[in-house]
Amino acid sequence: MRASYLLRVLVRSAVLSGLLLGSGCRGDGALPDSPYRLDLSISPTPPAVGPARLIITLTDSAGSPVEGAEIVVEGNMSHAGMVPVIDTAQAEDPGRYGINDFTFTMAGDWVLTTRGVLPDGDSVIAETATNVVGRVGG
């Protein structure tokens, strides 16, 4: 399985339920009518239980970085009964946002929902499926 966490980008009124992806590699990023592209990468890959670094890049239709967005990532597991993990990304470089210690609380299948609100009020949503492994070396 490839460690590509690039997923579809949905703009506004995105329906998130039912979008669980079975594999970590899917698609080319944006819906045809989406003016934005939102990519999420996770370090390390695959992530382990505990803190991981998330890097989010946001670009417009011309590939230019989009600054000043408010970006929040919510992690949910594929089974019921888990408390979601929610964290806010900090701007790092133009069009790049990061979370240094997004904490995966359990091994298994996760879906990260990244929501971005742009300065002009537009919103972007992307979903990223990943498998979290047990902590290595205790």
* Residue among 19, 49, 82, 133 that touches Cu ion (CB under 5 A): 82
* Total chain residues near Cu ion (CB under 5 A): 3
Shortest Å, Cβ 105 to Cu ion: 7
3-state secondary structure string, the chain? CCCCCCCCEEECCCCCCCCCCCCCCCCCCECCCCCEEEEEEEECCCCECEEEEEEEEEEECCCCECCCCEEEEEEEECCCCCCCEEEECEEEECCEEEEEEEEECCCEEEEEEEEEECCCCCEEEEEEEEEEECCCCC
Cβ distance to Cu ion smaller for residue 85 or 117: 85
Cβ distance to Cu ion smaller for residue 25 or 106: 106
Shortest Å, Cβ 75 to Cu ion: 10
77 is an interface residue for Cu ion by CB under 5 A:
yes
Chain residues binding Cu ion by CB under 5 A are 77, 82, 106
